[in-house]
Chains A and B, each alone.
Chain A
Amino acid sequence: MIRFEQVSKRYPGDIAALSDLTLAIESGEMVILSGHSGAGKSTLLKLIPAIERPTQGAVVVNGQNVSALKRAAVPFLRRNLGMIFQDQKLLHDRNVFENVMLPLTIAGVPPRDAGRRVRAALDKVGLLEREKAMPIALSGGEQQRLSIARAVVARPSILIADEPTAHLDDDTARDIVAVFRSFNQVGVTVLVATHHEALFAPCMTRRVTLSHGRLAP
């Protein structure tokens, strides 16, 4: 489903973020990506939606080489991916409902269907009764759940999350882990970068560790 084939990524100034990385993630897997700060976790995740392009090698998602994708094709790749960002990237001038609606508006889903799907997504993360709230009025855990609802509302087959439990207390973080697990149980491929790998231990998932841009043994 996702394959990294001898991928290297260098940033200007000759900083190597990833070196000769080869990795395959199968459909329906839940993979925890761990490693020290600066090990290349975020870079690896950014290569999948073509936010970054590899300097060498190929990144293949659903049989499509995204590293060679034309600019105009990138939006359609991203619509099939659910992304949760380290800084959440919520729109603070829109309420909970409107934030989750955005991916469906972009995809051109008719408003009536879209409204139903937004409520279904909010229900899954337990935010249904807060649909009119502004993001600023939500707690840290609720904000994270909101960003998960936005990531899954378009029913992507792949869910990518970068440090989704950062800045959350342990109980709240465990809630978030459970939400990811429930999506994985219904067949969604989940890839989570975290340095809280212990929190995900109960999920009995595959763990991939990065060290200085390479797979650690």
Chain B
Amino acid sequence: MSRARAALTALGSWLDDRIGLAPLRAMARKKEVPVHGHTIWYYLGGMTLFLFMVQIATGVLLLFYYRPSAEGAYESIQFLMAEVQFGWLVRSLHSWAANLMIVTLFVHMFSVMLVRAYAPPRDLTWMTGVILLVLAMSFGFTGYLLPWNELAYFATRVGTQIIAVVPLVGDFLLRILRGGDDVTGATLTRFYAIHVALLPAVTVTLVALHVFLVQRHGMSVPDEVERAPGPKRSMPFFPNFFLRDLVGWLIALAILAGLAAYMPAELGPKADPFAPAPAGIKPEWYFMFMFQTLKYLPAHILTFEGEAVGIMAFALGGLFLFLVPVLDRPKPGAKPSRFFFWAGIAIIVFIVVMTYLGYTADPTA
């Protein structure tokens, strides 16, 4: 026992000499996490990070069997689900963790927005976060096509066609995105490259920056807590907050395992470019609010095509989110505007209502 401990200490100092662990240790000892009524939201970012790590691990495992071609992709997933030991589990974990990660990401983002935790100096942290949301949705969009099933095929046809509304270069961008004029095997290899190489590289880099910035500025404390009289409470990051964070990870893992085991990912029929789109075609749920909004728009708004207007509106909405810390600059000493709080609430209500309608409204009505 004592010999093992001595060996560990020796290894520790050997590493310390080479890497310089002392500042890290000092930081971990010094770091405090504020304790107040909103502390619960601090765990959502960590849960998102955990789910992202699950995605990397299960994604690497899927690569051992997946074949990225229009002829082989669907069959390789069938083989994975039916023949490979625990293949269904790995794919279901990957699919469910993706969904849960988007959930925690949304909750994380809106909790930050509603308590104005994006205020400088955390504005850059917020902006990297909004980019990470876009990256996560791009992961979802590209990954959805990879099994090459009917639902994903048509959802991708629709989803990619949307880029054609960009003025002047729309058709050109569409060709680049699809690798041709239609969604084909060429689209599949493109999406595959984006999904397993490009996005992971960019995302890992940005996550590192995001987490570094969180460390750099510490946890944000909501204004109302800051102004409240009385002493401020806090807990040490290590081990108190760290262990609670781990509990958050375990909760996420438990939910994930339950969903993957009891509701494994489905595959459906293989994509057929020469079959009519099935009636139930739908995108992933986190695109549903946009998909549903497009259904309600008339063919023409003024002189523009309806969907072009809708898509521009969503693009502007995304830009608005990105720029919230720049737009919300209260004058020194003045109370911050409630506009951004209510804008956040309005966005949440819009997303929830449209998503609900997307799953309940009769598609043939």
Decide whether A and B assemble into one complex.
no
Chain A residues with CB under 8 Å of chain B are none
Residues on B lying within 8 angstroms of A by beta carbon are: none
